[in-house]
Every structure is written in structure tokens, then in C-alpha cells.
Chains A and B, each alone.
Chain A
Amino acid sequence: MRKPFHILCSALVVFVLLVSCETKKQTIEVNRNDKLKVVATIFPLYDFARLIGGEAVDVSLLIPPGTEPHSFDPRPENIVSAGRAAIFVYTNDTMEPWAGSMLKGLSSPGLVVVQAGRGIALTEEHRPDDGHDGHRHGHEDAPDPHIWLDFDKARKMVDTIVESFISVNPAKKELYLGNAKKLKDSLAGLDQKFSAALKTCKHNTIVHGGHFAFGYLAKRYGLKYISASGFSPDAEPSPQNLVRMSKTLKKEGLKHIFYEELVTSRMAEVIAKETGASLLLLHGGHNISKQELDNGTAFISLMERNLDNIKEGLQCRR
């Protein structure tokens, strides 16, 4: 009596498994039309790839929206989606240290892997610390991976991505190059707006209650920049660093402190409370929320909002 029951159960389980796999397969077929399938790790790369490819590509963001990429750990579904793609775009081995090992575990010989930050030298960080001996935090000697926040470097990244698109699908070369030119022009426009506006500011120090993401941006426009923690938002700030930040705000007479996207703004709130400053968002662009992704938020518009907030925070005239 028991045996037939067992067999029936096993048969049922196998059947269910087969059916569920079958339906999965069908959805893959639907996605697999003639569009070039691209997987990008972080939001700026996703946005660039989307703009360059236009209608001809199908870009997906590997890191789920809302997840902070520094703390990301790829899951099986991510590896599978990367394996189905024609092109895999990531920044560099410092930003996504997990990418290398993830790709190694992937046996898809046709996959074109693009390191968008190829050929862009990373600066080793030296945090401006008012001359204090404050260089004891985790990632002091580590290179800064946030290259997309230097819009000139971002233009180079666009070139690298477009090259890979053309190599995989030469027929659409004109389209890709045309779109890339538009994107590079708007990045150049952004760069000009930043440098024009940031010359007219009363203050020149960005006090950031998040992790050290805006080193390149600050350097490019001649600003001073201090942040609560190092390159990764996981690193804990020390009490002395918080005191240092409060002092800088008071000394410079700044009325605003910046906080970062997605993670809670508690650190910035603490310093704001201490000094009576108010909070302004400075979006590092690493990733966006699900809501923003659904709304089709673009990198350029995030950066324009950043410029508005920096202008308010540093009291710029234009």
C-alpha cells in the first residue's frame, strides 16, 4: 500500500518540477527576440547602456534596485541572468570585486565582458583632514572606485561601452555611435554646468554624512570634501571623525550637510542636530530605488539634482 503511494508522490513532484521549469523556459524565449541582451552591474552603467543602445538593446540591472552595491553578493539568479546576456558590463575590480569570481563560475564562451573603467587610473585616497592625524580608517590606501562621478571619466566609460556594442552587433554601428555622442554631449554639458556654477559659491567644502564617494567630483571642481566613513558605507565612522565634521561645519559657517542615497541618513542627522544644519541629498548614483527605476530616472537628472543641492548647500550665486 505504501509503495504505490510513494511512487505517486515522486511522480507528482517530478511533474511539478518539469512543468515549472517548462514555463520558465517559455518566458526566456519571449525575451530572446533580436534585441542585444546586456547586463550591467550598477545604475550608471545600466543607464549609459540603455541610452547608447536605445530600442536595439535590452538592458537589465544586475544589482536589485534598493541594494547598496558595496554590500552586494551575487545570487544564483544573478549569475544565470549574466549567463544569458550577450554583454556583461561592470565598472572595475575595485567597485565590484565579486564580478571576477562570478564570471569565472560562468561557462558561456560567447559572453563579452566589458570593464567600463578600463584605462581609467584610480586615485589612491588622501582624505583632507584639517591636518589632523586621522588616517586610521579601514580603506585609507585603497583606490577610489567611484569614477562615474567624474563626468570626464564617465565619457570615457561611454566610449568603452559603445565599442563593445559595435563589436557584438556591427550592423547597428551608426545608431550606437549617434546615441553615444548625444550621451557624451549631455555629460559634457553637465560638466560645464557644474564647473560654471561651482565657481560662484560662498563656501567650498562638501560635508557628507555618508561614505567617501565624491572624491573625484570634488577634485574636478576644486572643492574640499570630507565624509563620515571610508569608501564603503559598511565602514563605521569614529567619534573623532564626527566631531571633526561638526567642527568643519561650524568653522566654515555651513548650513547644510549632505546625506547619501538608499542607506539611512542617521549619521548625517546626528551631525545636523549637533550643528543646527539641515540635510540635503547628494546622490552617488550607485543604485536607485525600485520606485525610481520604475519611473525611468536617468543618471543625468540625478546629477542635475545634485548640482541644485550643492548650489544650495555651498550658497552658490548661479
Chain B
Amino acid sequence: MDILEFLSYGFIRRAMTAGSFIAVLCSVLGVLLVLRRLSLMGDGLAHVTFGSVALGLAMKVYPLYVSIPVVMISSVGILKMIERAGIYGDAAIGIVSSLGIAVGVVIASASGGLNVDILSYLFGNILSIGDAEVYISMFLAALVLLTIFFYFDEIFSMTFDEEFAKASGINVNRINLILAVLTSVTVVLTMRLVGIMLTSALLILPAVTAFQIGRGFKHTLFIAAASGVTSVITGIFVSFCLDLPAGASIVLINFALFFAAFSLRRFNVFHG
């Protein structure tokens, strides 16, 4: 089977298109999260989603309608905890994510079983993306990029020094709220589309790759998005050539890109 025939399959094309938009979306958000030491935000919110899906299934409501608001509240909660309770981001994420799992387990046990398997409901696969979901990923990517474009200066100054941003008159709370909402929607929806492993990986790896070789904030955002998209496209081709699962291949390619960027920096190609 040659590459052209491979590309003639709809699910491969959908994986590449939706996957690329998701990669841009997650990589760009990832830069903001990683810089603020919230790398595990994706992972943490995924655990909250588990709890909220259990809640939705037990209440017999479409789980997404429960998940999105609950996850939004949780991500705002994480930011508030960092701000008010004076704990670090990793601990705040840990608290919220273990709470999410615990609530899910309690509900699943108390309701005496459910009609579908929660785990399978949560974890999508990049190969099983539908037509409507391609549009969802495009819409989300556009939304995130536009937000960053309009609030670029505010986000830039907040990401590096929140106190300074506050002092210079930026409405930090509002920007934080917007970012928390975007992150929540992104995590819930992309997890449904490509699974938690890939969502979490795309939030962290392209960002750290970009930090190795990025010059300036804009350049870093651009490199992150480019490396995310490259990893998705190459990952799908590699998975085809070597007959491996697609999601895992994309994560491995991401690591390879990170390693390459790290080596480039080490040998002073960029900063020589």
C-alpha cells in the first residue's frame, strides 16, 4: 500500500486535519501553561472530567453538558488556590485532580454501576474523529488564537510577572478567567477527540521544545505550534509505515523533536 492510497482513507485525512488544529491549539495554550508552571493542568483537568462524566452518566444527562462547567469551575479553582491559599501550582492541580477522581469513584460505586464504560467514554482516539469534530477543532483553534491575538500584551506581561502586570493596570482576574475557560474547553473536547495521553503531551512537549530554540515570546509560540503540527503529521505517517498506534507515535515524535531542539541549542546553533 502506498502513501497516496493511505491518504485516500477518510479517517486518515480527518486525523491529520483535526489533529493539526488540535496541535496548534494545545501547543499555544501549552506555552502559557508551562511558563506559569501549570504543565500538568491538562492531566489534572482530565481527572476532573472523569468525575464529571460519572456525574453526568448517573444523572442521565449528556456528559459534556456536565463536564464543561465542572471543569471550568475546577480550573478557576486551581488558579484561586494558587492566588489565595499561597500554594504552588503543582499542589493545587494535585488537589483538584484527586478530588475529581474521588468524586467519580464515589458516584460510580453509589449508583451501583452504569450503562457504559466511563473510561472508554473519556478517551477518544485520533483515528476515530468524525466530520463534525473536525469543525469543532477548527473553531476551537480559531477561538484560542484570536483570544491570544487580542490580549497579546496583557497575556505576555502576565505570563512572566503577574504582580507587575497587576501593578501596570491589567485586569489580571479577567484574563485569568478567560484562559481558564479556554483551557477547560480545550481539555474536555480534545480529550474526547484524541485521548488524554495525546492532549497532555501536546500541552507540554511542543512548548518545551519551543523554549529550547525560541527567541522571544512570539517566536516561541510559533515554534511550539509548528512543532506540534509537525509531530501530528509525521506521527501519523510513522505509525502507518511501522504499523504502530497513531497516538503513541505522535508522542514519540514529540519527544524526538524536543531532543533535537535540545541538541541544537547545546551545540549553539541558535545562540552562537
Which positions in A face B, CB cutoff 8 Å?
64-68, 71, 75, 77, 133-134, 136, 233, 235-243, 246, 262-264, 266-267, 269-271, 273-274, 289-291, 293
Contact = CB atoms under 8 A, between A and B. Distances in A.
Interface string B1-28: 1000010011110010000000000000
Contacts of B121: 264
A65 B127 contact: no
Contact of A270 (B109, B111, B127): B127
A128 to B, nearest CB: 16
Contacts of B116: 66, 262-264, 289
B119 interface: yes
Contacts of B12: 239
A71 B245 contact: no
A289 B15 CA distance: 31
A106 B120 CA distance: 30
A67 B10 contact: no
B48 to A, nearest CB: 19
A68 B114 contact: no
B243 A243 contact: no
Interface in B222-244: 236, 239-240, 242-244
Nearest to B14: A270
B112 interface: yes
A244 to B, nearest CB: 9
Interface of B: 1, 6, 9-12, 15, 105, 108-109, 111-121, 124-125, 127-128, 130, 236, 239-240, 242-248
Given A266-B128, A273-B10, 8 more contacts: A65-B114, A66-B113, A136-B244, A233-B120, A235-B245, A237-B125, A237-B127, A289-B116
A238 B1 contact: no
9 contacts: A64-B113, A67-B117, A68-B117, A237-B127, A239-B127, A242-B11, A263-B116, A274-B9, A290-B115
Contacts of A66: 113-118
Contact of B112 (A235, A237, A290): A290
Given A262-B116, A262-B120, A75 B1 contact: no
Nearest to B195: A236
Contacts, number: 107
A266 B243 contact: no
Nearest to B108: A64
Nearest to A246: B9
B246 A263 contact: no
A53 B74 CA distance: 49
A133 B242 CA distance: 10
Contacts of A235: 245
Contacts of A236: 125, 245-248
A67 B113 contact: yes
Most buried by A among B10, B114, B127: B127
B109 A77 contact: yes
Contact of B125 (A133, A267, A291): A267
